[in-house]
Structure 1
Amino acid sequence: MSRASLGNRRWTHAAVCALSALAVAAVARAEDVQTVELNGRSWTLPPGFQIELVAGPPLVDRPVTADFDEQGRLYVAESSGSNDRVEQQLAERPHRILRLEDVDGDGRFDARTIFADGMMLPEGTLWYDGSLYVAAPPSIWRLTDTNGDGVADHREEWFQGGTLTGCANDLHGPYLGRDGWIYWCKGAFAEQNYARPGRALVTRAAHIFRARPDAPRDPATGGIDSSAIEPVMTGGMDNPVDVVVTPEGERIFTTTFLVHPGGGQRDGLIHAILGGVYGKTHGVLDGHRRTGDVMPVLAHLGPAAPCGLAIIESDRLGADFPRSLLTCCFNMRKVTRHVLRAEAAGLAATTEDFLSSPDVDFHPTDVLEDADGSLLIVDTGGWYKLCCPTSQFWKPDVLGGIYRVRRADAPQPADIWRDPRGLAIDWQAATPATLAAVLDDPRPAVVERSLRQLARTGVDSVPALEAALQAESATRRRNAVWGLTRIADPQARRAVRAALADADSSVRQAALNSISLWRDADAAEVLPNMLEGDSAQTRLAVEAIGRIKDRQLAEAVLAVADQADSRPLEHAVIHALQELGDIDVLERAFVDASWKQQRAAALALDALRSESLDPLRIAGWLEAPQPELRETASWLLARHPEWGDALGTVFEERLLRAAPESVESLTAHLATFAERPVIQNLLARVLEDSASPAAARVAAADAMRRAHPRELSAPWPRAIAAAIGAGDDALLAAALRTAGALPDDAGRSDLDAALRFVADDPARPAPVRLQAFAALSGRPPLAPDLLPVAMQALAHDQPVADRAAALAALARARLSSDQLIALADAFQSVGPLEAARLLDLYAGAADEAVGTALVGALSDSPALAALRVDALERVLAEQTPPIRERGAQLALRINADLVRQRAQLEALLPRLDEGDLRRGFAVFHSTRAACATCHQLGYVGGDVGPDLSRIGKIRTERDLLEAVLFPSASFVRSYEPVIVQLSSGLVETGVLRDESATHIELAKNAQDTLRIDRADIEELRPGAVSIMPSGFGQQLTEQDLLDLVVFLKSLE
């Protein structure tokens, strides 16, 4: 959609480029693409296109988003370059809105006005009805120039979100839909409250919201009343950004973290179907109505950080461009094109690069179609560092600009395109009939201006729009439907209903969207006739029936389940059944209908009255021939731990005869139900019984471990002890893992005796002994012969799992002063991954001999640089002044080493051609670097740190080397460290893996994940130290670092 018709603007976080003189680029053609040189920067774009800089410094320095008014003036949100904490930016409001004008008509902007200063960080711009709407968290502002001097003299807080998180991603937008409603995006994690009719919406999830521009106001706040705000979609993704709408009314948006990162996937595009739940599964989705698992992704883009999004309206870029999407990928320094196609009841997309640059300072944040069909691409500059790991450096001096891309080989435009905005039209004198006659004008800006003027005219426009529904042009008829949708009058509703009989499917789909939006009950009679196959029309008709809430149509909706082969239609059916709320129809269908109707009824009942579901019947679906039923059963069982008592016999039978391929899902179900006594006894019985199949015993142990019990089930310790002594290595490994996860409750005497027996057995492998000791309860003393075993396992050349077992054992032990003195020697052989955790073992030690041994060992340790000065000071706080003074000298060395590493970075960068990809692969997987312990490549590796499958495409060599040497300089979104202050006085640090209303999961390191009940948390605050250790500059050789960076850069 053109900016005139969607009228929006957006942003997401990026860092960005230096621009120079205004110039049209010269072209060097290749076979499929061409290389364009402009201002010392190379560009790749399709043959026949050209690029020019149309606004740069000093006219605009750091543009973020932009939108046009009817006269062609461009309103640009501009950052001041501040990276101060968002609370400070909110207080100081250092950003502004510029209005740029092309005075001489050459396509380049040459004049500006400061339309509004004193703004909070602007994250979207929409020109609508004489005002500029700007998302500046926590609010959306409406800025109006009432006297025509080019400066907004009236400011109104149109929407108050009420939250402002550390990355300020609480709000993006707003955007104007074809229906005339204003849409905006909420980021995840901050809780907001909306007084929705029927039930309040209290949500921490991500959303697209919408409201009418003239929505009623809350007299207490002055902003729009929250009861007038509708959620369009709900998500577990971090950061939905930009929204566009197709001519038929389908909503598409860009977002980050729509899946848990892995296999090169992270961000992308989503087709937002009403009521859908999208994005990664996360605790923020708890409490929201579901129709099954999360909805599908339209296009995966990897770690692209997609932001600005446009849908092309005109054919000025080529006959195949209308309805194509263009997405700004600021991490990947490119703009991608997505060609949409209908696929059953939803959409599919083919993705290709449209424009890109290898320049590390090119990061586009916005794209819009100008009225003449050319594109404007906004580049924000290098100022942004807040929540952005693209570079560790703040570069406010690297300024941005705005580029124009157009076809160089386009034919001479027809006369009509010499006035692309229709400025020659006498808009004040235009009648509704005149305006309706241009609703199929090829100029998108003319069409949108006509629609807005028709809407302002109101009911007097209905006859002209009704007449336009009889036009030969399907485009005019479809736009007439959208014009009627913007008019709040029964006559407009009646006219739209007539469009349901239109011969063109796009007109019918627009009409169905309109009927759904307005909940037009008078359409209920005809809607059942629209239910034809697995199609967008059927989906929209079902959606409309659900919003109308006519229960007489519940059985008709349920019958559509039999023809629903696509997830979009399946979702629409279940969501409509939930909206209709006819429990009697659903309960009957659950027990006596086709399998598809049973499934739909079960998922609808789960949201409305889950007590109507029979757990035994659901569990029976686990062995159904239809994979959809098996998946639904698994999903429902995971949501209902209270069903455990009813399912004990069923799961015991399944456990004892489980096939290898079903063990994982079965274990997950048993863990879900493990709070129920019936399941607790079942797990203990199977694990303890030597006659049980070995696979069943291992599965029982794993289910106990994954259950995260707050209190120890009485029969479990005895059963685990029996498994430890069973003489089976696989069962022993599972039992030790489980023992280590259990709470230190009373009643563990048999289990601790079995663990101590293994830990004290010198014939056992060292990792097994250490793991057994770490699983003991309390703070047991460490046997003298086990200390050298642990110290040997700690060496940096030992397997990562062995090192983790040694640290876990030492952390569990009550170490004597003599043992701490002996252990200090381990600092000579440990690597960065273990050094900080080893230092923590000395916290609180006041023995001067221990302190002397510690500082002496650290003074010669290769891992000294991996330690934090504050951690060293905390550990030595109880020591004598001479020891603390030696510690202060070590702190000076640590700080000096940081300076040395910065110099090392600068010295290594020119030598990257000496790096070798194959050697870098070996370094990545070596025990010294152990990168694969925390990071995925493809689908292999850990997931505590960011997925690196495509890291080379979004990070420069400098970025990569900085990340290795200075891991705490900045953090990748969703991998920020946090500090958890517990009510017990303990403090835990790590990365939040998941959170719900009842608990959080904290990854402390590559091996340890801690589940913490919210009732035990006194404070949760951001941390400043990465769980990735420092010190790799000393642990790895310079050649290792060069090889590693070359390997990482190759990962595209």
Structure 2
Amino acid sequence: MRRAIVISFVAIFAITASAQQPPQLPQKGSGPGKPLEPKEAQKLFKIDDGLRIELVACEPQIESPVAMQFDPDGRLWVVEMRDYPNGPKKGEPAQGRIRILEDKDGDGFFETSTIWADNLLFANGLLLWKDGAIVTMAPKITHLRDTKSVGKADKEDILYVGFAEQNPQLRVSHPILGLDGWIYCANGLRGGKATAFDSKDKRHPVVDLSGMDFRFDPVNRFQYEAITGPGQFGNTFDAWGNRFICDNRHHLRHVVMESRYVKRNPYLAAPALVEDISILEDGPLSSGGKVYPLSKNWTTSSLHEGRFTAACGVFIYHGKLLDTSRDRKGAFYDGAAFTCEPTGNLVHMEILTPKGATFESRPHKKGVEFLATTDDWFRPVFLTHGPEGAMYVVDMYRAVIEHPEFMPPELKNRPDLWAGKDKGRIWRIVPKDHVTKTPRPNLGKAPIAELVKTLEHEEPWYRTTAQRLLLEKNDQAMIEPLTKLLDTTKSPHAKILATWMLERQGKFGDEQLVQMFAYEHSRVREHAARIAEPRWENDFEFVERCIKEMNYEKDRRAMFQAILSTGGIKDKRVRGYGVRLAVVSKGDRWAYLAAQSCLPQFTDGLFAALLRDSSENTIPLQVMRETAALVAVQNREDMPFPALFKIVLDHGGESKWACLAGFADGLERRGKTLVSMSTEMSGTQKDSYVRELNSTLSDAKEHVRDAKQPKENRFLYLRVLSHAPWTAAKQSLVPLVEKEPSQELRIAALRALATQQDKEVPTLLMKLWASAAPSVRREILEAMLRQPARVEVLLDEIEAKRMKASELDPLRTRQLMNHANVAIKDRAKKLLAGNVPADRAKVLGEYQAALKLKGDAKHGRDIFKKHCATCHRVAGVGIDVGPDIADTRTKTLEAMLNDIIVPNAAIDANYVNYVVSTKDGRILTGLLTAETASSITLIRAEKQTDVILRKDVDEIASTGISLMPEGLEKEMSVQHMADLLRFLKDWRYLDGSVPTGK
């Protein structure tokens, strides 16, 4: 039965909020005020000069909206997440819905609302497709259909299953159509193992989505894969197909490389393939971009600017309408990035500029947001283009947007969690002098020829909608008009879309591709390189023709894509292209990474070319080290290690030590050392190698003691010394561990010492324990816990009472008491039984007294430095590993105490501790900071990192607990806790430069 709500809101629509100077900021409030009627809320918006904001829809037509899309005829489809935050009560139906809104009188306000689908559990995104919509609704992506054309979904075709279902903020979302015709989804932050759903129970490949996003071909749904990510609740393309994502604390990330490129080289320990492109302003806080809210539930004092804590809905505007404002000359909004910050009640804007293979961005104005309000119920979560080129803002309009999982216990059941569930607004941003009239695109029944012509439209909504409708038809009749368009269009956007459409139909010829490489617009050439990849695999002459036309040296982004696209070609004659391009790039780390991702058999050519060019000091030492490791990790007869070693020694210079450190990295990954390599040699070759190695180690020993040497170079010497014979290594490294003034170098020396495999190592490490600084002790424990034999020595020390069990933090205690080795686990349970943290609720009760004591902030700084600074940074003290805890002015002392005593009550997915077991028996722990197709990266206290190749991983397991240990209070009295809390609250005032106002 069709249900519709028709209400006139002409009066509301007529009121718009124009740009004004920000008013005097309100004083900090205690929580959200009362909800405002739409016309009252509209008056409070402060928007960029030359623009105005209009009401498009509101309650009761919509409730709790989180996503929207215009259909080909101008109707508005809206996803309602009415389940948020906790879902329906047991036994009750799901409450999510999809509505269709219509503006029948054309005044710009959508007064007619129809429920198209209901009883959807945590639906959060949609993409219109054929007779319905593809909907993200973890654990599935599904196609809801109206097969009878009655205005309501009557059939569900499940497409994919296996997506993670935890917190509804962290689920698969944002399906968007790429220029290549695939649909790209942000996967959230909880991973999953996705596969195509088949009603016939036929098995299809399962893709691991840990740290990844997801894409699929809507025309052939059995084509799907994991891609670079992960995005949380934000996923967008710019006009040229560059993808951007976001998560709570990272408001603008560019996906620079897709994971398929690093997958082809299993030896490449690639870092994260996304780039935080925002250039942050200087400030005391450690993460997240700065924002300037007007609302009272944020700290709005000039003493403190806020940071992103709930960044979502990242969006690259590439329409034309906003730049037609009389106040603007030329493009300003076109190509700019926008990110919603619902907890700050604002939309943030940044201007992007190209930077090599990626971008950098800056806020469009200093200290002022693109859109902000004093209404603390305004909750922007989603942005998109309209047919006319306006920007549309989806406003969930809730009292509380934070999920209770991340709240302290006393707030988890606060009565206003659901306040505003029955409300919601959609806003339209247009030039101030724009005459609003709801567009009637009428593309739903447009013939193929008209759809092809629409690919040239200046507004992106028209181009994308025409592309989607052509994909849905999948009709050979489109080939002729597409071919004609390709030959005649002056629009680079249309040329790219037509090319991909013809390629999908198998009707894009080689000669057409060569012409694409010669096209004047570099983004067209970039897409030509992507399309060419499968054709280049077995035709070297064709590769030469294409590359000759590309003129890549004039554009770094096109050059970057050329390196990636040629890196998978097996023909040896082509391997020089990527090498030459990388060297020409002169310092762009992404170009070097692209070259390193080439097939393993070609890395020697890259290494030789970089070594030659390094004589001019144009190649970063880190790139030399990484490439040397790529060469050394391979055991190839055509690339003998003694010859590589000799080439590096003969080359000399600073790059020599970077290469030698890289050799150490690579050899270690295959269970070898610089010393042990001599066992694979004989005769004069062996004699020469041993002689040169001993001389090199002697030089490293001398240089590492020289305090005048640059610190970066001393790290390289230490890495080389980690492969020295045991006696020499001990003589060189132990004094540095004990006496080196630099903490970083002490830790590096300890790591080098721990790399040694002599049976004396664990005993020596425990001897160093007694006098070691806390930072070195942490690294000693890390080294002792990596191998079962060393764990036994550690337990021996505890059993003999030479080490106190209490010196093990709760995280290490738990690790030992759950060890995979049964004998170690049983022994640890006996020895460490008294080390188990006390009941958290009981401890929390005991430390409530700290809230009533007068704290000493200066002494609290010392407490922080001793117990917290290894993972947190506040007031210039500490290291950024864990979450930012400096933003404490809006947190109560009670909430901070709860976070310290009960660190596992609510853990951000980014800060869960992982344990990785390798095939050679090592055990490593830390936060999982990066995942690629070829490697993973862990980080722990003191910002110590481990990069592990996936091929070497035996098992990865989440501990389910925070890197921050329970039981921290054992080291603090109640008074010390009061001092720490006061420091966290008042650190801004300690130097006296900022008045407290007390």
| Displacement after TM superposition at 1:663 (Å) | 5.5
Letter in 2 for 1:552: E
2:136 match: 135
1:783 match: none
Letter in 2 for 1:225: F
Within the alignment, does 1:695 sit opposite 2:704 as a pair?
Answer: yes
Within the alignment, does 1:356 sit opposite 2:372 as a pair?
Answer: yes
Letter in 1 for 2:46: T
Provide the secondary structure at the position in 2 that maps to 1:121.
coil
Is this contact kept in 2: 1:978–1:992, CA < 8 A? yes
Within the alignment, does 1:968 sit opposite 2:907 as a pair?
Answer: no
Question: More deviation in 370-379 or 645-654?
Answer: 645-654
Structure 2: gaps of 5 or more residues: 1-10, 27-34, 198-203, 281-287, 290-307, 679-689, 819-827, 994-998
Q: Distance in 1 between matches of 2:675 and 2:372?
A: 57
Q: Distance in 2 between matches of 1:454 and 1:439?
A: 10
CA deviation digits over 1:673-726, x for unaligned, max 9? 3443445577994697489523289999967987999xxx89335532465479
Mapping 1:623-662, distance limit 5 Å: 623-625=614-616, 627-628=618-619, 633-642=624-633, 646-647=640-641
2:571 match: 583
Within the alignment, does 1:402 sit opposite 2:424 as a pair?
Answer: yes
Is this contact kept in 2: 1:981–1:1019, CA < 8 A? yes
| Displacement after TM superposition at 1:75 (Å) | 2.4
Within the alignment, does 1:932 sit opposite 2:888 as a pair?
Answer: no
Letter in 2 for 1:896: G
Mapping 1:998-1037, distance limit 5 Å: 1020-1024=957-961, 1027-1029=964-966, 1031=969, 1034=974, 1036=976
Q: 1:59 to 1:324 in 2, by over 3 A?
A: same
Question: More deviation in 320-329 or 698-707?
Answer: 698-707
2:672 match: 676
Within the alignment, does 1:1044 sit opposite 2:981 as a pair?
Answer: no
Q: Distance in 2 between matches of 1:707 and 1:509?
A: 50
- Please, which of 433, 437, 441 is the counterpart of residue 418 of structure 1? 437
1:377 match: 394
Within the alignment, does 1:160 sit opposite 2:172 as a pair?
Answer: no
Q: Distance in 2 between matches of 1:990 and 1:748?
A: 26
Letter in 2 for 1:335: V
Is this contact kept in 1: 2:913–2:959, CA < 8 A? yes
CA deviation digits over 1:35-65, x for unaligned, max 9? 9996697543224555566656665443322
Q: 1:273 to 1:692 in 2, by over 3 A?
A: closer
Within the alignment, does 1:368 sit opposite 2:384 as a pair?
Answer: yes
- Please, which of 235, 239, 253 is the counterpart of residue 242 of structure 1? 235
| Displacement after TM superposition at 1:255 (Å) | 2.7
Number of equivalences = 871
Letter in 1 for 2:661: T
Q: Distance in 1 between matches of 2:275 and 2:584?
A: 19
Q: Distance in 1 between matches of 2:386 and 2:98?
A: 18
Q: Higher Cα Rg: structure 1 or 2?
A: 1
2:7 match: none
Q: 1:123 to 1:714 in 2, by over 3 A?
A: same
| Displacement after TM superposition at 1:577 (Å) | 1.9
Q: 1:201 to 1:1005 in 2, by over 3 A?
A: same
CA deviation digits over 1:920-940, x for unaligned, max 9? 698456556644321246997
Within the alignment, does 1:214 sit opposite 2:219 as a pair?
Answer: yes
Q: Distance in 1 between matches of 2:207 and 2:216?
A: 17
2:124 match: 123
Q: Distance in 1 between matches of 2:785 and 2:557?
A: 53
CA deviation digits over 1:164-205, x for unaligned, max 9? 26457563232234676544344575455799xxx9896556
| Displacement after TM superposition at 1:77 (Å) | 3.2
Letter in 1 for 2:604: L
Provide the secondary structure at the position in 1 that maps to 2:869.
helix
Is this contact kept in 1: 2:526–2:557, CA < 8 A? yes
Q: 1:755 to 1:1027 in 2, by over 3 A?
A: closer
1:63 match: 65
Q: Distance in 1 between matches of 2:553 and 2:66?
A: 42
| Displacement after TM superposition at 1:97 (Å) | 1.5
Q: 1:455 to 1:54 in 2, by over 3 A?
A: closer
Is this contact kept in 2: 1:62–1:380, CA < 8 A? yes
Q: 1:1040 to 1:343 in 2, by over 3 A?
A: closer
2:685 match: none
Provide the secondary structure at the position in 2 that maps to 1:420.
coil
Q: Distance in 2 between matches of 1:662 and 1:141?
A: 55
Letter in 2 for 1:814: I
Q: Distance in 2 between matches of 1:1003 and 1:556?
A: 45
Is this contact kept in 2: 1:335–1:356, CA < 8 A? yes
Mapping 1:13-32, distance limit 5 Å: 30-31=20-21
Within the alignment, does 1:76 sit opposite 2:79 as a pair?
Answer: yes
Q: Distance in 2 between matches of 1:521 and 1:172?
A: 33
Q: Distance in 1 between matches of 2:18 and 2:257?
A: 43
Letter in 2 for 1:153: D
CA deviation digits over 1:453-501, x for unaligned, max 9? 6777776xxxxxxxxxxxxxxxxxxxxxxxxxxx6654245324413xx
Is this contact kept in 2: 1:81–1:384, CA < 8 A? no
Letter in 2 for 1:75: V
Q: 1:164 to 1:663 in 2, by over 3 A?
A: same
Provide the secondary structure at the position in 1 that maps to 2:509.
helix
Q: 1:665 to 1:961 in 2, by over 3 A?
A: farther
Q: 1:371 to 1:701 in 2, by over 3 A?
A: closer
Provide the secondary structure at the position in 1 that maps to 2:529.
helix
Q: Distance in 2 between matches of 1:444 and 1:613?
A: 45
| Displacement after TM superposition at 1:361 (Å) | 5.8
CA deviation digits over 1:333-384, x for unaligned, max 9? 4213345677888777654331134666654211234456362323264365
Provide the secondary structure at the position in 1 that maps to 2:419.
coil
Letter in 2 for 1:244: F
Q: 1:927 to 1:375 in 2, by over 3 A?
A: closer
2:561 match: 572
| Displacement after TM superposition at 1:253 (Å) | 2.6
Within the alignment, does 1:896 sit opposite 2:845 as a pair?
Answer: yes
Letter in 1 for 2:559: E
2:243 match: 252
2:284 match: none
CA deviation digits over 1:375-405, x for unaligned, max 9? 2323264365277579974663233643344
- Please, which of 220, 225, 231 is the counterpart of residue 222 of structure 2? 225
**TM-score, with length taken from structure 2:** 0.68
| Displacement after TM superposition at 1:80 (Å) | 0.9
Structure 1: gaps of 5 or more residues: 1-20, 216-223, 258-264, 278-282, 460-486, 780-806, 845-872, 909-913
Provide the secondary structure at the position in 2 that maps to 1:313.
coil
Q: Distance in 1 between matches of 2:905 and 2:844?
A: 14
Q: CA RMSD in A?
A: 6.3
Provide the secondary structure at the position in 2 that maps to 1:946.
coil
Q: Distance in 2 between matches of 1:739 and 1:345?
A: 37
2:346 match: 334
2:3 match: none
| Displacement after TM superposition at 1:268 (Å) | 1.0
1:607 match: 598
Provide the secondary structure at the position in 2 that maps to 1:607.
coil
Is this contact kept in 2: 1:365–1:380, CA < 8 A? no
Q: Distance in 1 between matches of 2:975 and 2:144?
A: 56
Is this contact kept in 2: 1:65–1:125, CA < 8 A? yes
Question: More deviation in 533-542 or 52-61?
Answer: 52-61
- Please, which of 521, 524, 527 is the counterpart of residue 514 of structure 2? 527
Q: Distance in 2 between matches of 1:52 and 1:602?
A: 46
Letter in 1 for 2:903: P
Provide the secondary structure at the position in 2 that maps to 1:127.
strand
Is this contact kept in 2: 1:53–1:402, CA < 8 A? no
| Displacement after TM superposition at 1:155 (Å) | 0.9
Q: 1:408 to 1:956 in 2, by over 3 A?
A: farther
2:299 match: none
Q: Distance in 2 between matches of 1:835 and 1:446?
A: 59
CA deviation digits over 1:906-962, x for unaligned, max 9? x89xxxxx99xxx9698456556644321246997424312568x579989987676
Q: Distance in 2 between matches of 1:242 and 1:962?
A: 34
Is this contact kept in 1: 2:272–2:930, CA < 8 A? no
**TM-score, with length taken from structure 1:** 0.65
| Displacement after TM superposition at 1:31 (Å) | 4.1
